[in-house]
């Protein structure tokens, strides 16, 4: 959850609330279910073969050399974009306290801190990520309990009431279309939930720990996404929230409008650590995927080198150099940086989820031909695979019709570019 619960929920939900109202709760439940089905599909594969760079490994083994090449590099790009997005969001949280600090200074400072964390021992990274993640986990649960307390003790003059979820225009104040066209935006909030596939090779007992972690995800989605939004949207009517587009977190602004300033400041700090946690996870994922690509022969051999502590130093440094582009983006176009990065990340994520689900279909076919029994079968496969793929087509349609054609067009352009690079490297005998 450290790789998932971040900007998409705490900051990105502002735009969705303005469009969908209380039905955002249903939206998170729908996208969360799709994410869970994908995790079960991936979990079946990684429990059978816990390897480094699992996405590209399975794509290459069951689909072909180019599929592995594309899958690995695309996942690497996903987390470059996610890391840049979270780093950009961090500047907005700092701006809440110190509006005079330029965004690029905040991003540069935290870029240096997180890069240094990832250059250290993996155990040190694990400890730092554990504490960053546990802060937001405890905070979200505490916020839910505090919100419940405010709702149950609310007086007659208070705006806090569960009826806010269906009054003020109803559960779907702008009709179902208000929610439907926001599903692509909601998808960003779950980008990173599949990060568990990157940890399989370094887990002590993957046959036990991976299924446990994946099965707990559905309950965590209900708590962190569904319950938290249900509570905060009960405290103040959705149409009375001063959100200001993508610039303000509804979690912070609700308590600020209620006059509970200490809670607003505390939540802003929690959300800041949440973004750091996702950025930290993203840096980890980037370096491990690049290392996995190098081991498979799909990236320069230099990225397969590790330090005495087992850290893929060249992979960490190269990934961080590209993420540094976020600092430049915040220097030149600070206002547009976040929205552009989020939709570029969704485009890469769409391709990533499609590859995982399609690869799983090929994996199932190979397993059945061998007559093997898997240890952790995916739910309702192959029906769940077709459901996931249909959902992805729907997301592309939403992005196309809602003014983000560039993000959709980028997908085939990216695939063609990677295919050309793949053919060139093969011809050059670099692969």
CA proximity to 30, closest of 172, 180, 144: 180
Residue 403 corresponds to which tokens in the numbers above?
A: 């003014």
DSSP secondary-structure letter at 172? S
Q: Report whether pLDDT(246) > 60.
A: no
- CA gap 378, 393 in Å, rounded: 21
Least confident of 7-16, 33-42, 204-213, 339-348: 7-16
Residue spans of alpha helices (H) in 2-121? 7-10, 13-20, 24-48, 54-62, 65-97, 103-119
What is 7-428's CATH superfamily? Amino acid/polyamine transporter I (1.20.1740.10)
Buried/exposed 187-215: b ≥16 CB within 10 Å, e otherwise:
bbbbbbbbbbbbbbbeeeebeebbbebbe
Question: 234-244, pLDDT tens digit by residue?
Answer: 988 888 877 65
- CA gap 215, 297 in Å, rounded: 33
Question: 126-136, pLDDT tens digit by residue?
Answer: 677 777 778 87
Give mean pLDDT, residues 357-376.
90
Peptide bond into 301 cis (omega under 30): no
Contacts of 304 (CB under 8 A, 6+ apart): 291, 294, 295, 312
- CA gap 93, 101 in Å, rounded: 11
More reliable by pLDDT, 85 or 375: 375
Q: Phi, psi at residue 141, to the nearest 5°? A: -65, -45
Q: Report whether pLDDT(180) > 90.
A: yes
Question: 5-38, pLDDT tens digit by residue?
Answer: 666 666 667 778 888 889 999 998 999 899 899 9
Question: 311-339, pLDDT tens digit by residue?
Answer: 888 988 998 888 888 777 777 766 666 66
Question: 114-173, pLDDT tens digit by residue?
Answer: 888 778 766 666 677 777 778 878 888 888 898 899 898 877 777 888 899 998 889 999
pTM exceeds cut of 0.95: no
Give mean pLDDT, residues 81-98.
83
The rounded mean pLDDT for the chain is: 82
Measure the N-to-C terminal CA separation of the chain; round to a whole number of Å. Answer: 35
pLDDT at res. 365: 92
Would you call 195 helix, strand, or coil by DSSP? Answer: helix
pLDDT at res. 52: 60
pLDDT at res. 208: 83
Provide the angle, in degrees to the nearest 10, between the axes of the packed helices 228-235 and 24-48.
Answer: 170
Domain map of the chain by residue range? 7-428
At 278, the pLDDT band (50, 70, 90 cuts) reads: confident
pLDDT at res. 374: 87
Q: Report whether pLDDT(430) > 80.
A: no
How much of the chain exceeds pLDDT 90, in percent?
18
């Amino acid at each position: 959850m450290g790789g998932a619960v971040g900007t998409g929920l705490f900051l990105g939900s502002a735009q969705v609330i303005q469009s969908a109202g209380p039905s955002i709760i249903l939206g998170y439940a729908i996208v969360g279910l799709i994410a869970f089905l994908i995790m079960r599909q991936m979990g079946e594969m990684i429990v059978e073969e816990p390897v480094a760079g699992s996405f590209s490994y399975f794509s290459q083994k069951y689909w072909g050399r180019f599929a592995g090449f594309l899958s690995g590099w695309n996942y690497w790009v996903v987390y470059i974009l996610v890391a840049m997005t979270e780093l950009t969001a961090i500047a907005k949280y700092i701006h809440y306290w110190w509006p005079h600090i330029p965004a690029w200074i905040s991003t540069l400072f935290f870029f240096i801190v997180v890069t240094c964390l990832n250059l250290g021992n993996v155990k040190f990274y694990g400890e730092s990520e554990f504490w960053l993640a546990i802060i937001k986990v405890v905070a979200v649960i505490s916020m839910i309990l505090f919100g419940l307390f405010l709702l149950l003790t609310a007086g007659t003059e208070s705006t806090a009431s569960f009826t806010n979820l269906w009054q003020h225009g109803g559960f779907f104040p702008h009709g179902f279309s208000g929610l439907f066209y926001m599903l692509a935006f909601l998808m960003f909030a779950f980008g990173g939930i599949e990060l568990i596939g990157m940890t399989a090779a370094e887990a002590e007992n993957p046959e036990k720990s991976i299924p446990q972690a994946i099965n707990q995800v559905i309950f965590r989605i209900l708590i962190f996404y569904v319950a938290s939004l249900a509570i905060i949207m009960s405290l103040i009517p959705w149409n009375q929230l001063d959100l200001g587009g993508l610039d303000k977190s509804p979690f912070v602004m609700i308590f600020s409008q209620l006059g509970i300033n200490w809670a607003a400041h505390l939540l802003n700090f929690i959300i800041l650590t949440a973004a750091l946690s996702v950025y930290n996870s993203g840096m980890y994922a980037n370096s491990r995927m690049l290392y996995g690509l190098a081991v498979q022969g799909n990236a320069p051999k230099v990225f397969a080198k590790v330090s005495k502590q087992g850290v893929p130093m060249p992979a960490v440094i190269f990934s961080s150099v590209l993420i540094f582009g976020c600092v430049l983006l915040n220097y030149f176009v600070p206002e547009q940086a976040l929205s552009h990065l989020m939709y570029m990340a969704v485009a890469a994520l769409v391709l990533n989820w499609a590859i995982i689900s399609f690869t799983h279909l090929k994996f199932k076919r190979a397993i059945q031909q061998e007559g093997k029994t898997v240890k952790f079968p995916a739910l309702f496969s192959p029906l769940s695979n077709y459901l996931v793929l249909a959902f992805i087509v729907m997301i592309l349609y939403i992005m196309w019709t809602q003014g983000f054609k560039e993000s959709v067009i980028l997908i085939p352009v990216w695939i063609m570019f990677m295919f050309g690079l793949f053919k060139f490297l093969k011809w050059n005998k670099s692969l």
